[in-house]
Structure 1
């Protein structure tokens, strides 16, 4: 997907994180529902206590942000700090 000529990254977000989804969309990112089956450039999950995707070892190549205790702004900042954007 492009936005003003730039390619947008796709971020998969868990359903329970509606405020994060809204913030990332308003910030110009393509946001999809997190199912564990989508091909996303980054994942935002509510917590990492469980192996949410059933494939944590595969996820090392893309950012996985744990949203627990973070604001939407902090999540976006974490993605930027990882040189993801």
Structure 2
């Protein structure tokens, strides 16, 4: 099953993804995202400076305003899209 990095404060999302069989990695620092197929972030720490260093080739999902189930659906959708490409 896919490896999904999840920001630490999203415990409900972490639990929901684990229940669906995903390997969940808690993102505590940028390097934790390496090797993840997908990452879920709160979106609260937006990049004001517009600078970005790519750490992972996986999809990044902003969970702001979404329920845990909606985030899981988005993860599944993005991972299926990647596998079918």
The RMSD of aligned alpha carbons is 2.2
Kindly indicate which of the two structures has a greater share of residues assigned to helix: 2
Aligned pair 1:63/2:49, yes or no?
A: no
**Which residue does the alignment assign to 2:20?**
27
Aligned pair 1:44/2:37, yes or no?
A: no
Q: How many residues align?
A: 75
Contact 2:30 2:55 in 1 (8 A): no
- 1:17-64 per-position Cα deviation (integer Å, ceiling 9, x unaligned): 00000110111000011121122111000006523xxx7452683110
In the aligned structure 2, how far is the partner of 1:80 from the partner of 1:49?
A: 24
Unaligned runs of 5+ in 1: 1-7
Q: Aligned runs of 1:1-20 on 2, under 5 Å?
A: 8-20=1-13
Please, what TM-score do these two structures have when normalized by structure 2?
Answer: 0.73
> What is the deviation of 1:72?
1.2
Unaligned runs of 5+ in 2: none
User: Runs of 4 or more off by more than 3 Å in structure 1?
Assistant: none
